[in-house]
């Protein structure tokens, strides 16, 4: 065996074939040598993608098997599969078993490979805090973790402390309050809701430690050091799909093990001087808010409720008045920006602001308004809400869909599922922004607020007076909540009933905001993008055409 500072080389056998193996700088390669000493196929594995090196003949999947032999060692590494269900190829665990001419050579290979691994992968996690939501998606969180994730962590020498959640927000509270010394990252096994819990926990804790007030909408938030990992086990897993290009627990686990790090922009939502929420995926008004509100009332339908609610809300053909003020990023014009909906058209006025960049005000009636920090893709919409949105450039894409005829709006919605440009429509405008404020135009919504208050008084007397029969079914509980928590909580519960579609006899001119699948309790909100606030164990979307 030849060894120098950059290169280790020797003959090894895989089965009955002879190979010349090299460990050289960043790569471990082995080339098949035929009987005439000619070189044939070479396989190369970056050292940074080696998952583990074990003595003997070892198998991890489908079941762990170890045969302790003197001459063999087994190499585990990231293998890119040829096809998968995402917009990039899935990763799996590659395994090759080498036989050495002597035990000394075998031990030397193992030592050299492990040393190279430490040198070339300094950012790998050693200890992780894992939260499993046993009720997310198809309720397979525990099974996914124990059968697919835990064996890979063990192989890579990662220890994990596992918390199976017993209630919503347990993971967030744990991160905010418990001692996290020694953990290199927090992992959720669940869907977007679980990711959001970790996001709020990690950001909140970092700001607490830095003495930064999250409620101040103008404050510069402290970037978070603790990495977040997502093992998809929810029903949509949009954040995972957008940051990985695929929803696959093994691919996610391998990214975590090799310590990939992807910065991510986060948007804060404030109501006056109160932080309402953070999001990375989407906040949407109008159609998106109405669909969520409607679907909340049909939870019993399971995932089908989104299709059902989408149809019902579409049939209502509603649009809402609004005033959107946005701080444009320097990269103001969106690549797909439609020239027919000019930025400086009559209904756009400019004014300066405290935020860098220029502010514009846009007023009108909208079918929907959405703001997204990422493309927000999912298997149903592989290109997502805003196909060219970046993960970490400090901007978000504001998409305004103005009042349109039902067929036009259907075209817009349908284009999310195919390759046609959803922005190339005369009633769609897109802006790349750093901050957004939404308000109701003067006079709009006030009448409703008053009506709403009167109605709530009536309802207190007689719950059956609620405009929507579905809500009435739950009204006693809602009334109790209102008494306990005040108007905000009541309107949070009640508003979905106001936009519920055909069953509701009182159409309203105010929608609700859908923030990453949660209904926000306020209409007039301000949003601000915080560039690269958190880091994920991910690599963004890899080009699947590369080997």
Ligand X SMILES: Nc1ncnc2c1ncn2[C@@H]1O[C@H](COP(=O)(O)OP(=O)(O)OP(=O)(O)O)[C@@H](O)[C@H]1O
Which residues are the active-site residues? 192
Pick the closer one to ligand X by CB: 48 or 242.
242
Read off φ and ψ for residue 134, nearest 5 degrees: -70, -10
Q: Is the C-alpha dihedral spanning 34, 92, 115, 154 positive or negative? A: negative
Q: Tell me the H-state helices in 54-188.
A: 103-120, 141-144, 150-155, 170-177
Q: Applying CB under 6 A, does 249 fall inside the site for ligand X?
A: no
Q: How far is the CB of 137 from ligand X (least distance, A)?
A: 4
210 binds ligand X (CB under 6 A): no
Q: In the structure encoding, which two tokens stand for residue 306, read together?
A: 């989104």
Cβ distance to ligand X smaller for residue 325 or 375: 375
Q: Which residue from 2, 166, 461, 543 is in contact with ligand X, where contact means CB under 6 A?
A: 166
Q: Which position among 137, 185, 204, 445 is part of the footprint of ligand X (CB under 6 A)? A: 137
Question: Which of 288, 439, 287, 477 has its CA nearest to residue 361?
Answer: 439
**Comparison of 45 and 280: residue with beta carbon closer to ligand X:** 280
Question: Which span sits near ligand X by CB under 6 A: 9-17, 68-76, 133-141, 404-412?
Answer: 133-141
Pair of tokens at residue 173: 């509270």
Q: Cis peptide before 62, with omega less than 30 degrees from 0?
A: yes
- Is 167 a binding residue for ligand X by CB under 6 A? The answer is yes
Which of the ranges 118-126, 167-175, 260-268, 442-450 carries the binding residues for ligand X, by CB under 6 A?
167-175
Contact 231, 143 (CB under 8 A): no
Helices (H), 462-537: 469-473, 475-485, 487-498
DSSP label of 107: H
Binding segment for ligand X (CB under 6 A), chosen from 165-173, 203-211, 396-404, 532-540, is 165-173
448-452: long-range pairs with CB below 8 Å, 24+: 448/508, 448/509, 448/510, 452/491, 452/494, 452/498
Query: Near ligand X by CB under 6 A, which window of 154-162, 164-172, 381-389, 415-423?
Result: 164-172
- Closest of 94, 91, 84, 6 to residue 44, by C-alpha: 94
Question: How many residues make contact with ligand X (CB under 6 A)?
Answer: 21
Whether residue 199 contacts residue 210, with contact meaning beta carbons closer than 8 Å, is answered with no
Closer residue to ligand X in complex, CB, 18/142: 142
- Choose, by CB under 6 A, the member of 49, 72, 237, 294 that binds ligand X: 237
**Which runs of E-coded beta strand occur in 1-49?**
2-3, 7-14, 17-24, 27-33, 39-46
108 binds ligand X (CB under 6 A): no
242: contact with ligand X by CB under 6 A:
no
Choice between 36 and 167, CB closer to ligand X: 167
| Binders in 368-427 for ligand X, by CB under 6 A | none
Q: In the set 184, 192, 265, 294, which binds ligand X (CB under 6 A)? A: 192
Any contact of residue 248 with ligand X (CB under 6 A)? no
* Interface residue with ligand X, options 48, 97, 165, 377 (CB under 6 A): 165
Regarding beta strands 159-164 and 127-132, do their DSSP bridges make them parallel or antiparallel, or are they unpaired? parallel
Place of tokens 């939870």: 299
Q: Which of 50, 152, 194, 396 binds ligand X (CB under 6 A)?
A: 194
* Cβ nearer to ligand X, comparing 137 with 364: 137
Which residues lie near ligand X (CB under 6 A)?
133-137, 165-169, 190-194, 197, 234-237, 517
């Amino acid at each position: 065996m030849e060894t120098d500072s950059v290169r280790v080389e020797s003959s090894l056998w895989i089965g009955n074939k002879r190979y010349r193996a090299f460990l050289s700088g960043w790569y471990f390669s082995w080339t098949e040598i035929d009987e005439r000493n000619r070189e044939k196929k070479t396989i190369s594995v970056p050292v940074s993608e080696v998952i583990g090196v074990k003595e003997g003949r070892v198998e991890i999947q489908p079941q762990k098997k170890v045969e302790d032999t003197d001459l063999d060692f087994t190499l585990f590494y990231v293998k890119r599969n040829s096809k998968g269900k995402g917009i990039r190829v899935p990763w799996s665990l590659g395994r090759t078993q080498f036989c050495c001419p002597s035990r000394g050579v075998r031990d030397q290979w193992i030592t050299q490979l492990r040393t190279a691994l430490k040198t070339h992968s300094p950012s790998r996690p050693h200890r992780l805090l894992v939260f499993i939501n046993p009720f997310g998606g198809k309720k397979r969180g525990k099974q996914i973790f124990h059968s697919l994730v835990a064996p890979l962590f063990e192989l890579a020498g990662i220890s994990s402390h596992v918390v199976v959640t017993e209630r919503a927000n347990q993971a967030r509270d744990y991160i905010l309050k418990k001692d996290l010394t020694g953990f290199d990252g927090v992992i959720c096994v669940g869907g977007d809701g679980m990711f959001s819990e970790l996001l709020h926990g990690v950001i909140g804790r970092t700001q607490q430690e830095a003495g930064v007030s999250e409620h101040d909408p103008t404050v510069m938030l402290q970037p978070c050091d603790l990495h977040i990992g997502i093992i998809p086990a929810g029903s949509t897993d949009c954040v995972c799909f957008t940051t990985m290009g695929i929803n696959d627990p093994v691919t996610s686990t391998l990214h975590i093990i090799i310590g990939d790090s992807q910065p991510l922009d986060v948007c804060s939502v404030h109501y006056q001087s109160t932080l309402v929420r953070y999001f990375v995926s989407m906040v949407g008004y109008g159609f998106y808010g109405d669909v969520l509100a409607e679907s909340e009332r049909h939870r019993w339908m399971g995932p089908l409720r989104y299709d059902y609610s989408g149809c019902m809300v579409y049939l209502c053909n509603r649009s809402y008045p609004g005033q959107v003020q946005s701080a444009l990023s320097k990269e103001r014009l969106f690549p797909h920006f439609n020239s027919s909906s000019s930025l400086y058209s009559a209904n756009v006025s400019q004014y300066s602001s405290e935020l860098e960049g220029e502010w514009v005000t846009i007023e009108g009636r909208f079918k929907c308004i959405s703001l997204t920090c990422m493309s927000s893709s999912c298997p149903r919409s592989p290109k997502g809400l805003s196909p060219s949105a970046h993960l970490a450039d400090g901007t978000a894409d504001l998409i305004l869909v103005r009042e349109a005829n039902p067929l036009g709006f259907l075209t817009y919605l349908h284009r999310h599922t195919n390759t046609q440009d959803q922005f190339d429509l005369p009633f769609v405008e897109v802006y790349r922004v750093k901050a957004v404020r939404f308000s109701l135009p003067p006079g709009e919504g006030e009448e409703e607020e008053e009506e709403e208050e009167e109605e709530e008084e009536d309802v207190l007397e007689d719950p059956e007076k609620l405009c929507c029969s579905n809500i009435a079914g739950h009204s006693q509980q809602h009334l109790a909540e209102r008494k306990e928590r005040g108007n905000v909580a009541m309107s949070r519960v009640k508003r979905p009933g106001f936009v519920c579609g055909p069953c509701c006899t009182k159409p309203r001119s105010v929608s609700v905001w859908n923030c990453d699948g949660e209904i926000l309790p306020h209409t007039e909100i301000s949003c601000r993008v915080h560039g690269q606030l958190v880091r994920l164990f991910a690599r963004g979307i890899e080009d699947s055409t590369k080997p």
